[in-house]
Structure 1
Amino acid sequence: MRNQIQIRQTEISEMEKELNTEMVTDFYARHNLTPEQHFLYDGKKCIGVEYDGYVFKTFHIKKDGGISRIPSIIYHEERIKTN
């Protein structure tokens, strides 16, 4: 039984990763973006999107041109503006 549970947990984990990837792909398609493309969210220049199973997150570009290590949660997709 334990072996079967482990197999199922592995399958679920793989399916969650696949879903997260599909959610990110869908996000880019909805906003006509590519993964490398910068966009504005709430007036801040951002790049990249992640999905953790609950929310989308992005990383803003700092004044020095670096990318923030701390992600920002995207609460309102309608506030996304493409460059």
Structure 2
Amino acid sequence: MHYVYVLECADGTLYTGYTTDVERRVAEHDAGEGAKYTRGRTPVELRHVESFETKSAAMSREHAIKQLSRTEKEQLVASGEAAGSP
């Protein structure tokens, strides 16, 4: 499976990413070994996850989420729509 996730960083910002292993990836972010963006913003909290059968579908969704405004991302996270633990 392929996953798109949204993290809330310690400074309140939201980060969207792609992975095949959500638990490992969140742990990497928390350890400061994830994306450059999250390195100085730990700890992070997993706020939203969506799963996909193909990498292509997941990457398309990641791009779509990254295009959302902050308000739209907050609504996505709050709605719980398609959210869950893999």
After TM superposition, is the score higher than 0.5?
A: no
Higher relative contact order by CA 8 Å / sep ≥ 6: 1 or 2?
A: 2
Query: TM-score w.r.t. structure 1 length?
Result: 0.23
TM-score by length of 2: 0.22
